[in-house]
Structures are given as structure tokens and as C-alpha cells.
Amino acid sequence: MEEMLRDNRVVLYGEDVSDYGGAFKLSKNMLEAFGRDRVFNTPISEACICGTAVGMAMTGYRPIAELMYMDFALMASDQISNQAAKWHYMTGASTKVPIVVRCSVGGGKGYGGQHSQSLESMFAHIPGTYVAYPSNPYDAKGLIKTAIRDDNPVVFVEGQLLYNVKGVVPKEEYLIPFGQANIIREGKDITFVVWGPAVADAMKAADELEKDGISVEIIDPRTLVPFDWETVFASVRKTGRCVAISQCVDIGSFTGEIVSQITAACFDQLDAPVLKVGAKNGIAPQAYTLEAAFLPSVKDMTDAAKKLI
């Protein structure tokens, strides 16, 4: 709302975002505040939502396109990855595409295989697209404001498990720069690099490991693109050990890129191999008990850490 008050070029639209207030009520009261010219519904077509966002952005607007689930971003992959991400470069930098694609991840809520995928790694692979993934309310505000003001397309990932999390959010304006990681917890024995809802479990794992005398440093990158490699490298050079953690399925996850980069940059300072922890390589189950086994758990994180000590 602050950014829409600040800049009348900012518009918000998607499925049921106006009268209903969005599937998760995140746009509640926005219609009353800004009217139907700036807050409006769309057909059930992610390709349409993101395609029109590209066109609006190229003509001077700053659209925020809301997709109900990140799974459905696949329906708009051409608009995001081939259009929004590339037009600035294909026009010799004469065109900007400042869109924000907000999409939620339903993992951990029993929504099943078509509403639970963490696909941030896929979009991180596309040059020209920024990827932000807050883990708490404070970061969510600071990052979304930065995303709206940035001239590049941003895929803004929101873990639904975080929608009901409460935290201190200052009323005054603040922005969190992209590419600036947050050292959530300092430690000396091992580094956890983790983002999104998995951060909460990583904190619990660190508490458990502390009981065994293992000190964990936790780094939340906040954005996968751009990524704050130097903060991560500095931590790993100090601790000599690292576990990269996310809710993405393990194969093809951005955690693998983290393992690769750390191994190349910090090889001489490593005391053990760099490990990664993620969701199991399969389709997200709908049953809560099965989904709990599918997603990375506190035990998965503590077990990985203990392998390195």
C-alpha cells in the first residue's frame, strides 16, 4: 500500500485480488483505497496476467502481478523468462520491464502436488530475472518495496507458512537491498545457508545442535538473484563447514549451486564436504504425515550437521 500511495504507476492485479481481497486476503481493502483502475481482477490465465504485466511495464507502469500459487507460474514461463527477462537486453537497454510477479508456495499445508512446489531455483536460472524470498515479516516489507522500485523483473516468492507469522515491522519507510544477506545467528562450527519457511526449522535445528556443543551460524540470503556470495564465503571460511537448505526438491535445487560455488571459492578452508538438505525427490504428498516426511525436517538438518563434525 505504501508504494501505491507513493507512485501512481503501481498497479495490482490477479485472480480475485479486488473485491475478495486475494486468495489469502493479502490485498484486503486495497480496492477501496485505490479503485478499480489500479486494483482489478483478471481471468484465470497466468499467461494473460504476466503477459499484460510485461506490456504495461514497457509503457511506463509498475505492475504487481499476483499468481495464486507458484506452481501456476509455469503457465506463464514464456512471459516471465522469454519476455520480461529479455526485453531490456534485446532492445539495447532502451526498454525497461519493472514487473513484480508475486507467487505463493503452499508446501507444508497439505495442498498436494500441484499447489506445493518451490520453483525459485528454476527462475534463478533465468538471466535477467531477480528472485526474492523473504523469511519473516520485516524482510517481506523491505524486499517488496525494493522489488517494486527496481527496473528489473522480480519473481517474489512467498511461503504460505509465513502468512500468519507475526513480527516487528516498523511503520517508517525502509528498504532491504537485493543481494544483501542476513546473518540471523552467529556461530563458529558450521554455517547453514537457508531461505524461506525453512529458516524457522533451521533455527530449531541450531538450538538442538547447541545442546551438543555445536555452534551454528545461520545465513538467510533473502534473494537468490542477486546472491550475496561474499557474506556466505566469509562465514564458511570461518566455520569450515556448511549445509545449504531449502524446501526445493533436492535434485536441481539452487542449493547445488551454493555447494558448487563454496567448494570452488573456499576449498582450502573447508574441513568437510559441503552438504545440502531439501525436499525428497518426488511429488509433494497431500496427506500431512506424508508431506512432513517429504519436506526437510529439523532432524534432517541436525543429522547433516553432525556428519560434518
What are the pLDDT digits (tens) for 153-204? 999 999 999 998 999 999 999 999 999 999 999 999 999 999 999 999 999 9
pTM score, two decimals? Answer: 0.96
Rounded to the nearest 10 degrees, what angle do helices 229-239 and 254-266 cross at?
Answer: 60
Which class would CATH give 182-308? Answer: alpha beta
115 annotated active-site? yes
Can you give the pLDDT at residue 22?
86
Q: Which of 190, 183, 156, 196 is nearest to 296 (CA)?
A: 196
Residue 112 banded pLDDT, cuts 50, 70, 90: confident
Q: Cell 547433516 appears where?
A: 304
Tell me what the pLDDT averaged over the chain comes to.
Answer: 96
Q: At residue 108, does pLDDT exceed 90?
A: no
What is the model's pLDDT at position 109?
86
Relative orientation angle of helices 198-211 and 298-308, to the nearest 10 degrees: 50
Cβ-contact 192, 218 below 8 angstroms:
yes
Catalytic: which of 62, 88, 115, 276? 115
Task: Report the alpha-carbon distance of residue 136 to residue 301 in Å, rounded.
Answer: 20
Read off the pLDDT of each residue in 282-307 and give the average, rounded to a whole number: 96
Distance CA 49, CA 51 (A): 6
Give the pLDDT confidence score for residue 207 in this predicted structure: 98
Q: Which residue has the cell 545461520?
A: 218
| Residue range(s) in the chain whose domain bears CATH number 3.40.50.920 | 182-308
Give yes or no for residue 242 having a pLDDT over 90. Answer: yes
Intervals of CATH 3.40.50.970 along the chain? 2-162
pLDDT at 111: 86
Give the model confidence (pLDDT) of 211-233 as tens digits: 999 999 999 999 999 999 999 99
pLDDT in tens, 46-105: 999 999 999 999 999 999 999 999 999 999 999 999 999 999 999 999 999 999 999 999
Res. 1: pLDDT tops 90: no
Query: Distance between CA atoms of 117 and 71, rounded to whole angstroms?
Result: 6
CATH superfamily of the domain spanning 2-162: Thiamin diphosphate (ThDP)-binding fold, Pyr/PP domains (3.40.50.970)
